[in-house]
Amino acid sequence: MIFLIDYENVNNAGMRGTQYLLPSDTLIVFFSKNAHNMEKHFLLDIQNSGCVFDAYKLVNSQKNGLDFYLATKLGEVFGNPENKSAVIISKDAGFQAVRDYWQCCAKPQRRVFLSESIELGILRANEHTERTELIRDHLLSTDIGKFFNAYKETQKLRQLLQETFNDTEFSDRTEEMEQILQNGKTAKVIYLNTLHCFGRKDGLAVYQRLKNCVASKG
């Protein structure tokens, strides 16, 4: 995917989602002397992603200067027949005209998506990829009360496991046990997963203590 960032317009908020960038992506940032600083973690994400990265600074300050830069660069991008879609990251409603031209007037047509951030741009493009599903999951609305109740239960379980295994050779493996209990819907599943994780001999000893944890937790 090709992302064109109107950075003067969106600033750091528009960079949300850099952690989802792939080596196959191209990221182009348009900035000016009025907006030339970016939070370092976004830049490190870009570097670590392996994507193609390019940046253009506005030469002469003028109204809508970066908009014209971006629209011109988009035409250059679509000059390559292999590039069939792009995402413009901006809150400027004027880019709707750019989208309409490429999708309704240009021959051959090109798909242009408009978004306020990289992560939302990935969703708008509706890619059938793992990163799309990850973003959807992370953006799901969750009831705070229900989350807090689950959080308290998790904290209670961790404390219980630490107390139960503190005097054993397995005291440093309570995270694995927590996963076994959280993923085990039945006693049989917990038993089998414990043996798989710890081996038959140690697994039996661990399972006996885990049963007590489940009973105490209940």
The Cα 9–Cα 6 span in angstroms is 6
Confidence category of residue 185, pLDDT binned at 50, 70, 90: confident
* Residue pLDDT, tens place only, 138-168: 999 999 999 899 899 889 989 999 988 998 9
pLDDT on residue 49:
97
Which residue in this structure is represented by tokens 């404390």? 159
Neighbours of 117 (CB within 10 A): 21
Contacts 24+ apart (CB under 8 A), 123-127: 124/87, 125/1, 125/85, 125/87, 127/1
Q: What is the CA radius of gyration of the chain?
A: 25
For a pLDDT cut of 70, what percent of the chain falls above it?
A: 99
Q: In this structure, are strands 2-6 and 26-31 parallel, antiparallel, or unpaired?
A: parallel
pLDDT on residue 218:
57
pLDDT on residue 37:
94
pTM of the prediction?
0.78
pLDDT on residue 182:
85
**Pairwise pLDDT comparison (212 vs 156), residue with the higher score:** 156
CA 73-78-79 angle, to 5 degrees, is 95
* Residue pLDDT, tens place only, 9-49: 999 999 999 999 999 999 999 999 988 999 999 999 999 99
CA 49-53-58 angle, to 5 degrees, is 145
- Measured in degrees and rounded to the nearest 5, phi and psi for residue 37 equal -105, 135
Q: Which helix (H) or strand (E) holds 76?
A: helix 65-77
Estimate the share of the chain in helix, then strand, then coil, as percent rounded to the nearest 5. 60, 15, 30
